[in-house]
Amino acid sequence: MDQFNKSICFRRSEPVYRQIGDHFRQAILSGQLACGTKLPAVQELSHQFQTSVFTIQTALAGLVVEGLLDRKPRVGTIVRGSSSRLTSVGIYFSRNFWDDAEMGFYHALCGALQADLNEQNVRTQLWFDTRPESEMTSPFPPLLQAVQKREIQAVIAPLVSQPDLIWLPAIAPATALLTDADLPNRVNFNLLQMLRESLKQLQVQGCRSVGIICTIESTSKTIEGQGGCCMSFYDKFVEVAKELGLETRDAWIRSPEEYSWHKESYGYEEFLKLWDQDEHPEGLLVYPDIAARGALTALVARGVSVPKDLKLAVHINDRKPYPCPVPVTQVISRVEAVSEALISMVRMQLSGQKVCPIILPFTMRDHKSSLSGLKRARSVGQSLSDSPDRSKGDRNKPLKRSMVR
């Protein structure tokens, strides 16, 4: 150990604690310091390196954060042997979404990530990038500083903008992004599976024609088509409908030309435009959940009967469900699955594994299950209204205190 420590030659241009940290890091990663090796006490190391105890503690603290060292009470500092242990993560969002009621998915995902990482004894830091988009082509300074100081090992980015993709994938030893960009370290939902299974469910209900209301911009998202070529999301919708023998028309494909910030209003307005046409489809897919809420409101306003007048397949976020007054096919995305995939992605990178995109499926719940749920809810409501304790003469009386806890 003495011979190893004396091999370092300090440079004046860089802080001593950082040079000592780099020195030990290289020795651990190269195998020169084997897993399980116990380091001398900080007082002894300070004497050997001819520096202060504080400098040694600062250098070793960074390696503990990276997972290279373990510090155990009454035992000492032990070499772990690699940085595969996840101990600290930065969670980065390209905007502050807390005041936006339509960003419920990201509210839920942020909470799930923090809860999952906390349960795994991983420290987290959270950042919201509020810079103008024109400045986002360079790394977010607070995040970059945390990486450089080795306060975090990995970055998880559940919400990214296009400029972020220039620098985010390479900023840290491990990064995981929720995006449809062509990156190996991405997590995304399987939109092709969603299209196929949703339209199949509508076909099973007897639909011969289908439409879609969706907030994905008409030119922004591509899906692999036949022969490996990429095609737009809406062209793929048409292709899948054709494969199933379902008719669709351009007028029944309701898509925005650019990003819609008000998805619920968009869903409401586009349903009205669709239903006010001389002819409309027998089945309709609405994605995502915020647009589906608006479409359901418009449907009720127009007095459309489901499934008599229209068969529906709508997206639902399992952590942010909404009341659905009609029997529909539910296209469910699991927030917990996204959290698990993002954490798994950074763990694989830290352990040296080759990573590839993680594409998550949607869960489908057919309209019969939805109808059963509605019947159960209605029967419960009916039984409460007909309860002998709440006869017609008593219904206007307040409930007993014990019943309204």
Confidence bin at 260 (pLDDT 50/70/90): confident
Secondary structure string (H, E, C) spanning the chain: CHHHHCCCCCCCCCCHHHHHHHHHHHHHHHCCCCCCCECCCHHHHHHHHCCCHHHHHHHHHHHHHHCCEEEECCCEEEECCCCCCCCEEEEEECCCCCCCCCCHHHHHHHHHHHHHHHHCCCEEEEEECCCCHHHCCCCCHHHHHHHHCCCCCEEEEEECCCCHHHHHHHCCCEEEEECCCCCCCEEEECHHHHHHHHHHHHHHCCCCEEEEEECCCCCCCEEECHHHCEEEHHHHHHHHHHHCCCECCHHHEECCCCCCCCHHHHHHHHHHHHHCCCCCCCEEEEECHHHHHHHHHHHHHHCCCCCCCCEEEEEEECCCCCCCCCCCEEEEECHHHHHHHHHHHHHHHHCCCCCCCEEECCEEECHHHHHHHHHHHHHHHHHHHCCHHHCCCCCCCCCCHHHCC
Predicted local distance difference test score (pLDDT) of residue 368: 74
Confidence bin at 239 (pLDDT 50/70/90): very high
- Could you give the CA distance from residue 309 to residue 292 in angstroms, rounded to a whole number? 17
Q: Are residues 41 and 105 in the same domain?
A: no
Asked whether residue 347 is domain-assigned, the answer is no
Q: Are residues 58 and 93 in the same domain?
A: no
CATH number for the domain that contains residue 97: 3.40.50
Predicted local distance difference test score (pLDDT) of residue 397: 42
Which residue in 251, 288, 254 sits closest to 271, CA to CA? 254
Asked whether residue 98 is domain-assigned, the answer is yes
Q: Are strands 88-93 and 154-159 parallel, antiparallel or unpaired?
A: parallel
Examine the pLDDT at 344 and tell me if it is beyond 50. Answer: yes
Q: Are residues 220 and 280 in the same domain?
A: yes
Asked whether residue 259 is domain-assigned, the answer is yes
Give the pLDDT confidence of 362-403 residue by residue, as tens digits. Answer: 999 987 775 554 454 444 344 434 444 444 444 344 433 333
Q: Are residues 72 and 110 in the same domain?
A: no
Give the pLDDT confidence of 376-385 residue by residue, as tens digits. Answer: 444 434 443 4
Give the pLDDT confidence of 14-67 residue by residue, as tens digits. Answer: 888 888 988 888 787 777 888 788 999 999 999 888 899 999 998 888 788 777
Predicted local distance difference test score (pLDDT) of residue 372: 53
Asked which of 28, 59, 79 is the last residue of a domain, the reply is: 79
Asked whether residue 387 is domain-assigned, the answer is no
Predicted local distance difference test score (pLDDT) of residue 68: 79
Give the pLDDT confidence of 170-220 residue by residue, as tens digits. Answer: 888 899 999 999 899 999 999 999 999 999 999 999 999 999 999 998 776
Asked whether residue 401 is domain-assigned, the answer is no
- The larger pLDDT score, comparing residue 62 to residue 341, is at 341
* Domain that includes residue 47, residue range: 2-79
For 357, phi then psi, to 5°, come to -55, 145
- The larger pLDDT score, comparing residue 350 to residue 91, is at 91
Give the pLDDT confidence of 124-172 residue by residue, as tens digits. Answer: 999 999 999 889 999 999 999 998 888 898 999 999 998 999 999 888 8
- Could you give the CA distance from residue 38 to residue 33 in angstroms, rounded to a whole number? 9
pTM of the model: 0.74
Mean pLDDT across the chain? 85
Predicted local distance difference test score (pLDDT) of residue 196: 97
Predicted local distance difference test score (pLDDT) of residue 391: 41
- Could you give the CA distance from residue 118 to residue 125 in angstroms, rounded to a whole number? 11
Predicted local distance difference test score (pLDDT) of residue 393: 44
**Per-residue b or e along 297-329, where b marks 16 or more CB atoms closer than 10 Å to that residue's CB:** bbbeeeebebbeebbbbbbbbebbeeebebbbb
Give the pLDDT confidence of 78-124 residue by residue, as tens digits. Answer: 887 655 678 899 999 999 998 898 999 999 999 999 999 999 989 99
Which residue in 56, 81, 55, 53 sits closest to 67, CA to CA? 81
CATH number for the domain that contains residue 236: 3.40.50.2300
Q: Are residues 93 and 136 in the same domain?
A: yes
- Contact by Cβ (8 Å): 174, 212: no
* Share of residues in the chain with pLDDT > 90 (%): 58
Q: Are residues 113 and 182 in the same domain?
A: yes
Count structural domains, the chain.
3
The edge-to-edge listing of strands for the beta sheet with 283-287 is 253-254, 210-214, 283-287, 311-317, 329-333, 363-365
Predicted local distance difference test score (pLDDT) of residue 253: 97
